[in-house]
Amino acid sequence: MDLTDEQWAVIQPLIPDPPKRPDGKGRPWKDARDVINGVLWALRTGAPWYDLPDRYPPYQTCHRRFQHWVRSGVFEKVLQTLADDLQERGGIDLSECHIDVRLSSPKKGRPSWSNQAGQGYEAHGSCRRQWPSCRRTRYVCFAA
Protein backbone atom coordinates (compact mmCIF):
# COMPACT_ATOMS: atom_id res chain seq x y z
CA MET A 1 0.00 0.00 0.00
CA ASP A 2 2.09 2.86 -1.31
CA LEU A 3 1.27 6.56 -1.31
CA THR A 4 -1.45 7.59 -3.71
CA ASP A 5 -0.85 10.35 -6.26
CA GLU A 6 -2.99 12.69 -4.14
CA GLN A 7 -1.00 11.95 -0.98
CA TRP A 8 2.29 12.37 -2.83
CA ALA A 9 1.15 15.73 -4.21
CA VAL A 10 0.47 16.88 -0.64
CA ILE A 11 3.85 15.87 0.85
CA GLN A 12 6.19 16.35 -2.12
CA PRO A 13 6.83 20.04 -1.31
CA LEU A 14 7.94 19.04 2.22
CA ILE A 15 10.77 16.81 1.03
CA PRO A 16 13.96 18.75 0.28
CA ASP A 17 15.81 18.30 -3.00
CA PRO A 18 19.00 16.26 -2.72
CA PRO A 19 22.21 18.26 -2.52
CA LYS A 20 24.11 18.65 -5.78
CA ARG A 21 27.88 18.44 -6.02
CA PRO A 22 29.50 21.52 -7.55
CA ASP A 23 31.47 19.39 -9.99
CA GLY A 24 28.33 17.55 -11.16
CA LYS A 25 29.78 14.14 -10.36
CA GLY A 26 28.30 11.42 -8.23
CA ARG A 27 25.54 8.88 -8.41
CA PRO A 28 22.01 10.22 -8.86
CA TRP A 29 19.77 9.96 -5.81
CA LYS A 30 16.94 7.43 -5.74
CA ASP A 31 13.46 8.83 -6.25
CA ALA A 32 12.16 10.31 -2.99
CA ARG A 33 8.68 8.83 -3.53
CA ASP A 34 10.08 5.31 -3.81
CA VAL A 35 12.24 5.86 -0.73
CA ILE A 36 9.40 7.18 1.41
CA ASN A 37 7.21 4.27 0.29
CA GLY A 38 9.96 1.91 1.46
CA VAL A 39 10.25 3.73 4.77
CA LEU A 40 6.49 3.61 5.32
CA TRP A 41 6.49 -0.10 4.46
CA ALA A 42 9.18 -0.80 7.07
CA LEU A 43 7.39 1.26 9.73
CA ARG A 44 3.98 -0.23 8.92
CA THR A 45 5.11 -3.87 8.99
CA GLY A 46 7.68 -3.61 11.78
CA ALA A 47 9.99 -5.83 9.72
CA PRO A 48 13.76 -5.34 9.80
CA TRP A 49 15.10 -2.92 7.23
CA TYR A 50 16.95 -5.67 5.37
CA ASP A 51 13.60 -7.39 4.63
CA LEU A 52 12.49 -4.48 2.46
CA PRO A 53 10.93 -5.85 -0.76
CA ASP A 54 12.78 -5.46 -4.05
CA ARG A 55 10.21 -2.99 -5.42
CA TYR A 56 11.75 -0.35 -3.13
CA PRO A 57 15.28 1.11 -3.23
CA PRO A 58 17.98 -0.70 -1.21
CA TYR A 59 17.26 -0.84 2.50
CA GLN A 60 20.47 1.06 3.28
CA THR A 61 19.24 3.99 1.18
CA CYS A 62 15.78 3.97 2.78
CA HIS A 63 17.18 3.73 6.31
CA ARG A 64 19.82 6.42 5.79
CA ARG A 65 17.32 8.82 4.23
CA PHE A 66 14.80 8.05 7.01
CA GLN A 67 17.42 8.90 9.65
CA HIS A 68 18.26 12.13 7.85
CA TRP A 69 14.58 13.11 7.56
CA VAL A 70 13.95 12.37 11.24
CA ARG A 71 16.97 14.42 12.40
CA SER A 72 16.01 17.37 10.20
CA GLY A 73 12.31 17.29 11.21
CA VAL A 74 11.09 16.51 7.69
CA PHE A 75 9.55 13.17 8.59
CA GLU A 76 7.47 14.61 11.44
CA LYS A 77 6.06 17.21 9.03
CA VAL A 78 5.29 14.50 6.46
CA LEU A 79 3.42 12.35 8.99
CA GLN A 80 1.51 15.34 10.36
CA THR A 81 0.56 16.46 6.85
CA LEU A 82 -0.64 12.96 5.92
CA ALA A 83 -2.69 12.74 9.13
CA ASP A 84 -4.23 16.19 8.48
CA ASP A 85 -5.03 15.20 4.89
CA LEU A 86 -6.68 11.99 6.05
CA GLN A 87 -8.68 13.90 8.65
CA GLU A 88 -9.87 16.45 6.07
CA ARG A 89 -11.08 13.63 3.82
CA GLY A 90 -12.98 12.10 6.76
CA GLY A 91 -10.81 9.00 7.00
CA ILE A 92 -9.76 9.52 10.60
CA ASP A 93 -11.02 11.33 13.67
CA LEU A 94 -8.07 12.76 15.60
CA SER A 95 -10.23 14.24 18.35
CA GLU A 96 -10.08 10.92 20.24
CA CYS A 97 -6.52 9.91 19.56
CA HIS A 98 -4.00 8.20 21.77
CA ILE A 99 -0.35 7.85 20.85
CA ASP A 100 1.95 5.97 23.16
CA VAL A 101 5.62 5.35 22.48
CA ARG A 102 7.69 3.57 25.08
CA LEU A 103 11.34 2.88 24.53
CA SER A 104 13.37 1.05 27.09
CA SER A 105 16.75 -0.44 26.42
CA PRO A 106 18.87 -2.62 28.67
CA LYS A 107 21.89 -1.29 30.46
CA LYS A 108 25.16 -1.81 28.62
CA GLY A 109 28.04 -3.75 30.15
CA ARG A 110 28.25 -5.68 33.38
CA PRO A 111 26.30 -4.55 36.43
CA SER A 112 28.48 -2.72 38.92
CA TRP A 113 26.42 -2.64 42.11
CA SER A 114 26.68 -5.01 45.06
CA ASN A 115 24.48 -5.98 48.01
CA GLN A 116 25.01 -4.98 51.66
CA ALA A 117 27.55 -7.77 52.20
CA GLY A 118 29.67 -6.34 49.39
CA GLN A 119 28.90 -9.26 47.09
CA GLY A 120 28.17 -8.54 43.47
CA TYR A 121 26.15 -10.50 40.96
CA GLU A 122 28.83 -13.18 40.66
CA ALA A 123 28.29 -14.36 44.25
CA HIS A 124 24.65 -15.10 43.51
CA GLY A 125 25.12 -16.68 40.09
CA SER A 126 23.09 -14.07 38.27
CA CYS A 127 25.77 -12.42 36.19
CA ARG A 128 23.55 -12.19 33.13
CA ARG A 129 22.01 -9.19 31.52
CA GLN A 130 18.76 -8.16 33.15
CA TRP A 131 16.06 -7.12 30.65
CA PRO A 132 13.37 -4.64 31.56
CA SER A 133 9.77 -5.80 31.47
CA CYS A 134 9.00 -3.57 28.51
CA ARG A 135 11.32 -3.94 25.54
CA ARG A 136 10.96 -1.47 22.68
CA THR A 137 7.22 -1.25 22.35
CA ARG A 138 5.75 1.11 19.83
CA TYR A 139 2.10 1.32 19.04
CA VAL A 140 -0.38 3.89 17.89
CA CYS A 141 -4.07 3.54 18.67
CA PHE A 142 -6.68 5.59 16.88
CA ALA A 143 -10.33 5.67 17.91
CA ALA A 144 -12.47 3.64 15.53
Domain ranges for the chain, please list them.
5-142
Measured between alpha carbons, how far is residue 118 from residues 47, 55, 110, 111, 130 in Å?
Answer: 44, 58, 16, 14, 20
User: 40-60: per-residue pLDDT in tens?
Assistant: 899 888 889 899 999 999 999
Q: Where are the beta strands (DSSP E) in 22-143?
A: 97-102, 137-142
Query: From CA 74, how far away is CA 86, in angstroms rounded?
Result: 18
In tens, the pLDDT along 47-93 reads: 898 999 999 999 999 999 999 999 999 988 888 888 888 888 776 76
